[in-house]
Amino acid sequence: MGPAEGKSPISRHFGKSLSFVRKNGSIFLIYGFIILIAGMAAIYSETFRTASNMANILRQSIILGLIAIGQSMVVLTGGMDISIDMIARTVALTVATLFATYESDSSLIVPLLFLGVTVGVTLGGINGVLITRTHANPFIITFGMASILRGVNLAISTTPIRGIPSPYLRIYDAKIGIIAINVIVMGIIWYAVWLFSTRTRLGRSLFAIGGSERVAQLSAIRINWTLVSAYVLSGFFAALAGLFVLARMGVGDPGTAEGMTFQSIVAVAVGGISLYGGKGSLIGTLGGVLLLTMISNVFNLMQVNIYYQQLLLGLVVLIAVAAYRSPRSVRPG
């Protein structure tokens, strides 16, 4: 059953773009939603449609964005990182404590940034090693790690940790005009991560493992190494998120990143990355992040109760899952 012959060039082009749309349907869907909701909000709310609010949304999307990127790496392999929010928190609290201990010494900023990243990467690495050694379900291992870290974080502090040197806060505040520098940096990060996922060997390997571990193994992909890398990356981005939150709050907040694991999974799922792994795109994740951030922004502007936001998040997940259900046809022979 080959392609239909005898079609005019125009209808063939139309057919090609149609199949492009159909294949990347989830991405079109998500960005369509964003435009729709942005449009509605812009009509109803004067505050929403200001440039500074738009810039604000972009900056607000950074935290979820970083965590969602980390989560994407892991979900692509068919796993899940439940501990990602706790890793972010651990990094934030650890760095904050060290700042406080050494009397807010500004010269510590750069070393502590590196330290924070190291902590995140190490915790992620532990996740990865445990998962590859025990062959246990990643959900369970990272769930255990999340519980452990929650306890560790409580032990570090249950009250805000003061003593962050003011220059550090520039990470959040520095702007060019109304655009924050961190937004530009984040844009570069998104691009780099997308490039990584599609154009590097490690990136392709993530998809391969999620798609079929057996085939990946036969194709000379180093499974264990790749899996550990996925969790290390997750820890890396979790650390960046934690460090960013620290700059935003100005204190070490014991509630850092609360609930962000769930949000990151929503963003990833809504953005079209299959929760079974092996399929999807970082572009979709970006869409998911922007959508969720925008909804949150709109709700805040309209001063909607935070509980309703939770409700909506849940609804969005259900709708996304229903919309992306691809009928897996049974191929008889």
Q: Catalog residues that contact other proteins under the rule CB under 8 A.
A: 1-5, 7, 23, 195, 198-201, 204, 207-208, 211-212, 214-222, 274, 278-279, 330-333
Q: What's the CA angle centered on 267, arms 193 and 306, to 5 degrees? A: 135
Residue 176, classed as helix, strand or coil, is: strand
DSSP state of 161: B
- 3-state helix, strand, coil split of the chain in percent (to 5) is 75, 0, 25
Closest distance between other proteins and the C-beta of residue 275, in Å?
13
Closest distance between other proteins and the C-beta of residue 284, in Å?
15
Closest distance between other proteins and the C-beta of residue 208, in Å?
6
Whether the CB-CB separation of 267 and 289 falls below 8 Å is answered with yes
Q: Give which of 259, 260, 263, 207 is closest to 230, Cα–Cα.
A: 207
- Which residue's CB is nearer to other proteins, number 135 or number 201? 201
Distinct helix (H) and strand (E) counts, the chain: 14, 2
- Which residue's CB is nearer to other proteins, number 71 or number 205? 205
- Which residue's CB is nearer to other proteins, number 221 or number 290? 221
Phi, psi of 40, deg, nearest 5: -60, -45
Closest distance between other proteins and the C-beta of residue 270, in Å?
19
- Which residue's CB is nearer to other proteins, number 166 or number 200? 200
- Which residue's CB is nearer to other proteins, number 213 or number 258? 213
Closest distance between other proteins and the C-beta of residue 220, in Å?
3
CA distance 235 to 223: 19
Residue 252, classed as helix, strand or coil, is: strand
